[in-house]
Chain A
Amino acid sequence: MEESVSVQLFKAMRRPTLVTDDRGVILEANPAFLSTFELDSAKAIGQHLTDFLEPLGNWKAAGVNGLSMTYRHSGASSLAPSGRLQINRYESSGNSGFFIFIDSGTAFEAEEILTALSYIVENFPHPILIWGKSAELLKYNDAAKQRFVAISDLFHLGQDRQVLLTAARDRGVFGTNNKEHSFDQVLQLQYVTDKERGPLINELQAPDGTWHRVTAYFSPDGWGASFYEDISELRRAQSELSTRTREFELILQNVPDFVVVADADFRVNYVNASYEEATSRTRDSWIGERCLPDEDGDDGNDLEEMFISATPDSPSISFDEWMRVEDGGRRWIRWRCRVLFDGGERSGMIKIGRDITVEYEQEQHLRQQSSELAKKNESLERFAAVVSHDLKAPLRHIAIFADMVVEEVGKEHYEQLPQFAKHIQNSAVRMDGVIKRLLEYSKVAYKTVSRHHVPLSDIVVQAVQNLESQVENARAEILASDLPYYFGDPDLLRQLFQNLIGNAVKYCRPGQRPRVRIYCARESGNLQIFVEDNGIGIDPRYADSIFTAFRRLHKDETVYDGFGIGLALCKQIVDSHLGSIRLDTSYKGGARFVIELPLKS
């Protein structure tokens, strides 16, 4: 028997469908129903509707136009436990009953989701356009309608995407100042459905100056959605930020201070131009380098440890450091550093360094000057005491012997007068000698040191030339070996050697030819100069006092004539070069003086 079209339709329907009588007894069940409930038709027909599922409502009240209600069931594993069914009443050739269309749960959920999505789209504050697979406008929301108001005549469901967007461009919904793509390209791109590439994102400016980010995404079938977002604020903030960043960068690049920024492991990720310049290295070459000081600080603290153990409460560390520069010089840098923390964790470090070489050197220079001044003051004080004593002693003698002369003459005793007069004479001569030596001393003591690079060997030769007659008379032998250049005052240094060589020649052992050796060595930043003779030597007890021995200017002249002033002058000269002089008491073959002169500066 040929099936009627309606029966064929019934069988072909994908929704599970039943035909019942008025009471709900099943008259027919379509294959979709049977397969969903895993039955064959014999088992279904004659059963009651409620044997398979339970409509939640008065299902018999269904009118011709149908009634939709929820059902529950437990019979079919492939079916969600609840769903909706639609009941239509029929009447045909005296029979009446119900068509019952069952929605599978999944279908119902999809419908629910669509309803929800639809609601969301409609109420979303930003414009959304949904495209069908033939690039037709499928759905839009109020926000979209407002945004596209300029083309409201074309803006309706079913409209072709290209028509719509081209009109939007032509009528100025958005400008054409997209930097990355021309508008046509944007359109073109939006037709390309490439899952791999992800969403298409473009930023467009509207004629009112506002900026909009368009995010479009298409399914492989060509379904799609475009989402418009007003990003004017964001762009303003970004542009503000990038302006500030540029300004900041410009400042950093132009400050004379060094700026080094490092990460949590103290590895450099930024240095400014001043630092690049000072270190003659490019920024790129610095990136990634660990930038902690590897030497201890002035106060002996382990600087690296200080950085590592910095806490958010004490994040700042300061230290001074020598830095080598390209021309081989050294610059003294004062660093101020701050370790950065983010939520208690170390997140980086900023180091700011200033070249304080000039200040440092000035400070050193001042310190040096004040130490020189202190030394000069000290020797001036000693000088004054010596003047007071050494001039007063003969003066006193003159006064007293003059007194005695007066007394003796008063008593008419004349026999002692020549003796008293002789004493007065001697005292005057002694005073004269003292004054001469003081003058000689003050010439050296108050001379301003004027330094030059001078060859010490030449200085020694000049000193020996000045002592020519003494050296020749004593047939002295002077040996000077390997003397370097020194940065000092040539006049004073010559005087120094002249005094030392002069003493050595003068205090020779009787009957022995004087031999003077001058040689030098370098030791820990100092130049050591040795002046050694084979003479009578100096008692070690006087090792210190010989250099301050003014008070013997006039005494013991029979033994140490002129000795005191010479060595005091030597000390004065060495002091003014910030060095030292001493008698090497361990040397027994004569006298050996050791002069130490600083090599730096």
Chain B
Amino acid sequence: MVVEDDPLDFGFFTTAFKEIPAQTELFNWPTVEGAVEEILQTACEIAVVDINLRDGSGIDVIREIRAHPRLGKMPLVALSSSVSDIDVSECYEAGVNAYVEKPLSMEKYRMFAKAFGTFWLESAVLPD
């Protein structure tokens, strides 16, 4: 699940993830509100959360996921265009597994997708 309110950014994401060998199904949700319900609905295994959302902060989504009885252990990656110390430390405190700056080129989007696939989808063992 990609919680991202910028359709262009989600477009780059889709483009990059299509090119990796691992089979992925991407879902998009644009707001803080309803994000958790949508994850439950789609039964996603991993969530990538943009920190700047139109109706609030992605950190709230992260906290909500971590506090949820069924989603608490879900792998979470924070994504943001700003790399401010406060945001980074707040995100890790809220329980993200990684904080990633939004890639600045298509090439880097592809690298991100590839690395993401290799690590989270091939190497890492995910909780049930």
Among B54, B83, B86, B102, the residue within 8 A (CB) of A381 is B86
When chains A and B are docked, how far (Å) is the Cα of A273 from the Cα of B123?
Answer: 88
Contact stretch, chosen from A62-70, A394-402, A516-524: A394-402
Instruction: Report B83-125 residues with CB < 8 Å from chain A CB.
Output: 83-84, 86-87, 102-107, 109
* Chain A contacts for B109, CB-based, 8 A: 400
Contact stretch, chosen from B5-13, B21-29, B35-43, B63-71: B5-13
* Chain A contacts for B83, CB-based, 8 A: 388
- Is A384 part of the contact surface with B, judged by Cβ < 8 Å? yes
Among B12, B56, B84, the residue within 8 A (CB) of A388 is B84
Among B8, B55, B87, the residue within 8 A (CB) of A423 is B8
Q: Contact between A385 and B106 (Cβ–Cβ < 8 Å)?
A: no
* Chain A contacts for B86, CB-based, 8 A: 381, 385
Instruction: Report A365-395 residues with CB < 8 Å from chain B CB.
Output: 381, 384-385, 388-389, 392-393, 395
Smallest CB gap from B107: residue in A: A403
Q: Contact between A389 and B106 (Cβ–Cβ < 8 Å)?
A: no
When chains A and B are docked, how far (Å) is the Cα of A542 from the Cα of B87?
Answer: 21
Among B9, B56, B84, the residue within 8 A (CB) of A385 is B84
- Is A156 part of the contact surface with B, judged by Cβ < 8 Å? no
When chains A and B are docked, how far (Å) is the Cα of A423 from the Cα of B54?
Answer: 20
Contact stretch, chosen from A214-222, A256-264, A294-302, A551-559: A551-559
* Chain A contacts for B102, CB-based, 8 A: 392, 396
When chains A and B are docked, how far (Å) is the Cα of A245 from the Cα of B8?
Answer: 91
- Is A454 part of the contact surface with B, judged by Cβ < 8 Å? no
Smallest CB gap from A396: residue in B: B104
**A393 touching B106 in the complex, CB below 8 Å, given contacts A545-B56, A551-B52:** no
Among B8, B56, B80, the residue within 8 A (CB) of A397 is B8
**A400 touching B12 in the complex, CB below 8 Å, given contacts A388-B84, A389-B52:** yes
| Interchain nearest-CB distance for A182 vs B (Å) | 97
When chains A and B are docked, how far (Å) is the Cα of A400 from the Cα of B112?
Answer: 14
**A392 touching B82 in the complex, CB below 8 Å, given contacts A400-B105, A400-B109, A403-B106:** yes
When chains A and B are docked, how far (Å) is the Cα of A555 from the Cα of B52?
Answer: 10
Smallest CB gap from A397: residue in B: B8
* Chain B contacts for A395, CB-based, 8 A: 104
Smallest CB gap from B102: residue in A: A396
**A389 touching B81 in the complex, CB below 8 Å, given contacts A381-B86, A397-B8, A400-B12:** yes
Q: Contact between B54 and A404 (Cβ–Cβ < 8 Å)?
A: no
- Is A407 part of the contact surface with B, judged by Cβ < 8 Å? yes
**A555 touching B54 in the complex, CB below 8 Å, given contacts A400-B109, A403-B107:** yes
* Chain B contacts for A423, CB-based, 8 A: 8
* Chain B contacts for A381, CB-based, 8 A: 86
When chains A and B are docked, how far (Å) is the Cα of A552 from the Cα of B30?
Answer: 13
* Chain B contacts for A542, CB-based, 8 A: 55
Smallest CB gap from B81: residue in A: A392
Counting contact residues on chain A (CB < 8 A from B), the size range is 20 to 34
Q: Contact between B5 and A399 (Cβ–Cβ < 8 Å)?
A: no
Q: Contact between A400 and B104 (Cβ–Cβ < 8 Å)?
A: yes
Smallest CB gap from A400: residue in B: B106
When chains A and B are docked, how far (Å) is the Cα of A385 from the Cα of B6?
Answer: 18
* Chain A contacts for B6, CB-based, 8 A: 393, 555
Q: Contact between A388 and B8 (Cβ–Cβ < 8 Å)?
A: no
Smallest CB gap from A545: residue in B: B56
When chains A and B are docked, how far (Å) is the Cα of A298 from the Cα of B26?
Answer: 62
Contact string against A for B residues 39-62, beta-carbon threshold 8 Å, 1 for contact and 0 otherwise: 000000000000010111000000
* Chain A contacts for B9, CB-based, 8 A: 397
Q: Which one of A396, A404, A407 has the greatest number of beta carbons of chain B within 10 Å?
A: A396
Q: Contact between B84 and A384 (Cβ–Cβ < 8 Å)?
A: yes
Q: Contact between A385 and B54 (Cβ–Cβ < 8 Å)?
A: no
| Interchain nearest-CB distance for B84 vs A (Å) | 5
* Chain A contacts for B104, CB-based, 8 A: 395-396, 399-400
* Chain A contacts for B55, CB-based, 8 A: 541-542
Instruction: Report A496-540 residues with CB < 8 Å from chain B CB.
Output: none
* Chain B contacts for A400, CB-based, 8 A: 12, 103-106, 109
Smallest CB gap from B52: residue in A: A551
Instruction: Report A339-373 residues with CB < 8 Å from chain B CB.
Output: none
When chains A and B are docked, how far (Å) is the Cα of A403 from the Cα of B8?
Answer: 14
Smallest CB gap from A550: residue in B: B52
* Chain A contacts for B84, CB-based, 8 A: 384-385, 388
| Interchain nearest-CB distance for B126 vs A (Å) | 30
Contact string against B for A residues 247-267, beta-carbon threshold 8 Å, 1 for contact and 0 otherwise: 000000000000000000000
Q: Contact between A389 and B107 (Cβ–Cβ < 8 Å)?
A: no
Q: Contact between B54 and A389 (Cβ–Cβ < 8 Å)?
A: no
When chains A and B are docked, how far (Å) is the Cα of A552 from the Cα of B52?
Answer: 9
Smallest CB gap from A551: residue in B: B52
When chains A and B are docked, how far (Å) is the Cα of A384 from the Cα of B6?
Answer: 21
Smallest CB gap from A426: residue in B: B8
When chains A and B are docked, how far (Å) is the Cα of A393 from the Cα of B82?
Answer: 9
* Chain B contacts for A404, CB-based, 8 A: 106
Q: Contact between A385 and B82 (Cβ–Cβ < 8 Å)?
A: yes
When chains A and B are docked, how far (Å) is the Cα of A404 from the Cα of B108?
Answer: 12
| Interchain nearest-CB distance for A66 vs B (Å) | 127
When chains A and B are docked, how far (Å) is the Cα of A423 from the Cα of B8?
Answer: 9
When chains A and B are docked, how far (Å) is the Cα of A555 from the Cα of B54?
Answer: 7
Smallest CB gap from A388: residue in B: B82
Residues of A within 8 A of B (CB): 381, 384-385, 388-389, 392-393, 395-397, 399-400, 403-404, 407, 423, 541-542, 545, 551-552, 555-556
26 residue pairs from A and B, CB less than 8 Å apart: A381-B86, A384-B84, A385-B84, A385-B86, A388-B82, A388-B83, A389-B81, A389-B82, A392-B102, A393-B6, A393-B81, A396-B102, A396-B104, A397-B8, A397-B9, A399-B105, A400-B12, A400-B105, A403-B107, A404-B106, A541-B55, A542-B55, A545-B56, A551-B52, A555-B5, A556-B54
For the complex of A and B, 4 pairs with smallest distance between CB atoms: A403-B106, A388-B82, A389-B82, A392-B81
Known: A388-B83, A555-B6. 16 other contacts (CB 8 A): A384-B84, A385-B87, A389-B82, A393-B6, A393-B52, A396-B103, A397-B8, A397-B9, A400-B106, A400-B109, A403-B105, A403-B106, A403-B107, A542-B55, A551-B52, A556-B54
